[in-house]
Structures are given as C-alpha cells and as structure tokens.
Amino acid sequence: MNTTQIRLNGQDQTVHAPENTPLLYVIRNDLDHKGTRFGCGAGNCGACTVIVDGQAVQSCDIQLWAVANKEVLTPEGLAKDSIGQMVQHAFIQEQAAQCGYCINGILMSVTALLKKKTQPSKEELMEALNRHLCRCGTHVRILRAIDMVIEKLNEKKVA
C-alpha cells in the first residue's frame, strides 16, 4: 500500500492504495466521487474521462502513480470552474443528455478543450469527442450545446 498525494477538484487528497490502481477506482471507491463513471474499463468509451493537469484522460486507463501531485478535475468539480459551469449550463439548456451515462465524460472532454482553445475547429472538436460512445442519439443537441458555449466564450473576448 502506497501513499499518493493528488489535488482533486482543488483540494489536496492523500490516497492509500497500490500505485498501479486505476485512477477511476481511486476516484470512485477511495474518494467517493461517483460522477466519474465506469464504462468499458478498457479506455474505449469515454465515460470515465477526467481532466488531469488540463488534459482530458480516461481514468480507467491511467494508474494512480501517474497522477501523483497533479491536479485532477472530476464532474463534481465542474461547478467551481467557470468554463465547466458554462458547459454544464449549456448541456442542461439544450437537454443534451438522454440516459446521461456518457455525458459526464463528454462534459470533461469539452471543458478541457475549451479551456485550451475557446474557438476550436470542427476537427479539434471531433477529435475531443472521438473517444466517447453515446448510443442515445443526442449528438445534435451535444453539438448545439458546445456551439452555445463557444459563442459565449468568444462574446466575452469581443466585449
């Protein structure tokens, strides 16, 4: 059992777990943040996406040792992030979730992208969404919500 320090949603956390434990299990089981979902467990669906030091990563595919002393943002932390708040609000306004299982991971990838680039190209947006599986068919609403956030972010720059 190792001791690992991470910063989760702005708060320092000490984790007592083997360093090769998938981050997903640490987040859900040790730190009790259930917004990060278990999907496929193999890095293929995107349900478990979190943001580590500004980069969207699939938490089932990254081990605890790789995030030692790093900033980890989960869906629970989006409310404290200005862009994360905007993304959440737009997804709610556009009703961009149906079953909701994949949406938390999508919110994380979109937030990470928009924090890096407030006016991404369609190709950059598609690349950010590429690792997310959604079977519900709300893709048009998801894209509308993202466009809404991009528009608001760029209005602020002009004003």
Query: CA 107 to CA 120: how far, in whole Å?
Result: 15
CATH code for the domain in which residue 32 is found? 3.10.20.30
Query: CA 48 to CA 158: how far, in whole Å?
Result: 35
User: Of 76, 108, 137, which residue is a domain's last?
Assistant: 76
Residues spanned by the domain of 146: 77-158
How would you class 159 by CB atoms within 10 Å of its CB: exposed for 0-12, middle for 13-18, buried for 19 or more? exposed
**Model pTM?**
0.93
Does residue 21 sit in the same domain as residue 54? Answer: yes
The pairing of beta strand 49-52 with beta strand 55-58: antiparallel
User: Of 31, 58, 76, which residue is a domain's last?
Assistant: 76
Q: Quick: pLDDT tens for 128-146.
A: 999 888 777 788 999 999 9
Does residue 7 sit in the same domain as residue 47? Answer: yes
Q: Quick: pLDDT tens for 75-115.
A: 999 999 999 999 999 999 999 887 777 899 999 999 999 99
Query: CA 70 to CA 143: how far, in whole Å?
Result: 30
CATH code for the domain in which residue 93 is found? 1.10.150.120
Does residue 83 sit in the same domain as residue 136? Answer: yes
